[in-house]
């Protein structure tokens, strides 16, 4: 990364989390549909998602309300 890119990165990292997320999303979208992806990672995520859905369908997963999950995530972030 060149000096200009590094300066830009430092400025971006100083933004709020919401602004950084918005910018990250737009940058990813700017790569277009033909951008290289990690097919191994995608396959691993697909398998993990299938496994979790199957666990829920079998009643093996403990479900919690979204508000409780969000509160737990915020506690982890702040704590």
Average pLDDT in the 59-79 region? 93
| pTM of the predicted structure, to 2 decimals | 0.45
* pLDDT the model gives residue 33: 76
Mean pLDDT, the chain, as a whole number? Answer: 91
Average pLDDT in the 42-62 region? 94
Residues 20-38 pLDDT 10s: 999 998 998 898 877 777 7
Backbone angles phi, psi at 2, to 5 degrees: -85, 175
* Cα atoms in the Cβ-side hemisphere of radius 13 Å centred on 63: 9
First-to-last CA distance in the chain? 33
Query: Do 52 and 61 form a contact (C-beta atoms < 8 A)?
Result: yes
């Amino acid at each position: 990364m060149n000096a200009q890119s590094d300066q830009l990165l430092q400025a971006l990292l100083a933004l709020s989390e919401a602004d950084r997320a918005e910018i990250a999303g737009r940058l990813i979208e700017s790569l277009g549909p033909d951008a290289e992806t990690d097919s191994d990672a995608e396959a691993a995520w697909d398998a993990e998602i299938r496994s979790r859905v199957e666990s829920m369908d079998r009643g093996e997963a403990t479900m919690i309300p979204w508000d409780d999950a969000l509160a737990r995530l915020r506690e982890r972030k702040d704590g």
